[in-house]
Amino acid sequence: MLRGRELVVGFFVTLIIFSFLVVNAEGNPKVFYGKVVGIEFSAIQVRGKNGRISWFWMGHRTHLESRGPFFGDRVRIEYVKDRLGRNAVTRIKVLK
Is 3 contained in some domain? no
* pLDDT digits 0-9 by tens, 40-50: 989 999 999 99
| pLDDT over threshold 70, residue 66 | yes
Is 61 contained in some domain? yes
Give the residue from 35, 26, 83, 77 showing the smallest Cα distance to 56.
77
What is the count of structural domains for the chain? 1
Is 17 contained in some domain? no
Is 2 contained in some domain? no
Is 84 contained in some domain? yes
> What's the pLDDT at 83?
81
- Give 3's pLDDT tier (boundaries 50, 70, 90): confident
> What's the pLDDT at 39?
93
CATH code for the domain of 62: 2.40.50.320
| pLDDT over threshold 60, residue 23 | no
- For residues 13-21, give the mean pLDDT: 80
- For residues 15-38, give the mean pLDDT: 79
> What's the pLDDT at 25?
47
**Residue predicted with more confidence, 36 or 8:** 36
Is 8 contained in some domain? no
Domain that holds residue 39: 30-95
Tell me the C-alpha distance between 24 and 46, whole Å.
Answer: 28
Is 38 contained in some domain? yes
